[in-house]
Amino acid sequence: MNTELIGGLRCHVVDRLPDGQSPTLVVILCHGFGAPGTDLVGLGPEILARQPQLAAAVRFVFPEAPLSLAEVGMPGGRAWWMLDIEKLNAAIMTGALRDLRNDHPPELPAVREQLIAVIDAQREQTGLPMSQIVLGGFSQGSVLSIDVSLRLPEPPGLLTVFSGTLMSEDEWRVLAVKRGAMHVLQSHGDEDQILPFEAAEWLRDLLVESGCEVEFIPFHGPHTIPQTALVRFVERLTEIVGEEG
């Protein structure tokens, strides 16, 4: 693993490519709120070990969110934008539905540009088209990835949403219609106390109604990435590499 500054963000880069060989697929995954910047990095070696075909083709890039949460009592934790932690904890305790459809985080425009800069830097370095870039993440990181994917000049080869939600609905609905066809892999647990399952269904429906091809993987469980979704993610990456091979 190498750690590099890409597009203004500290990024952890994982691949097993032979020296001097460029990837034919770049996978950019963004971690969730409160996690350390290395939270998803272990997925890279795990996926490459599961599917040797990917080891000769794929580079994983794991950006770290720019905001430190040390001052709010979460040392090592990072965030793409701030949340009202008291409100979040209250929703978890009471079981209240967290409806973020009208949320427009003030930090989002700046962090959106930083993630786009990571994508642009990888494309410039590798010469790959957007069809060979996979973008996604977990929780807040997946929400950022959705926002960026809807605004890029071209859709990524795959948008992966692990335990995401619908946010900024007024903007996303307009952007999604303009985006049209985009391949999406989405998973969500029916016992998620952080981002409710119902809101994941709202997101799925918005994307489908806008012309996206959404593969939705519901599972019985909490706010996490299940093995069923990870297995399917590996299969989708293998399919993309096979199409380009």
For the chain, give every domain's residue range: 2-244
- pLDDT over 70 at 147, yes or no: yes
Note the pLDDT of residue 244.
61
Which distant-in-sequence residues (6+ apart) come within 8 Å of 233 by Cβ? Answer: 47, 160, 185
Residue 91 has pLDDT above 90, yes or no: no
Domain spanning 2-244 has what CATH number?
3.40.50.1820
pLDDT of residue 245 exceeding 70, the answer is: no
What is the per-residue pLDDT for 84? 80
The whole-chain average pLDDT of the chain stands at: 94
Report, as an integer, the average pLDDT of 19-30: 94
Per-residue pLDDT tens over the stretch 39-55:
999 999 999 998 988 99
The answer to pTM > 0.75 is yes
pLDDT at 213: 97
Lowest mean pLDDT among 64-68, 88-92, 101-105: 88-92
Q: Are 10 and 37 in contact (CB under 8 A)?
A: yes
Region 120-135: mean pLDDT is 97
Give 204-230 pLDDT, tens digit per residue: 999 999 999 999 999 999 999 999 999
pLDDT for residue 243 is more than 80:
no
Of the candidate ranges 103-112, 139-148, 211-220, 236-245, the one whose mean pLDDT is the lowest: 236-245
Task: Give the residues across from 137 on adjacent strands.
Answer: 30, 161
Confidence of residue 146 (pLDDT cuts 50, 70, 90): very high
Rounded Cα gap, residues 103 and 62, in angstroms = 25
Judge whether residue 92 has pLDDT over 80. Answer: no
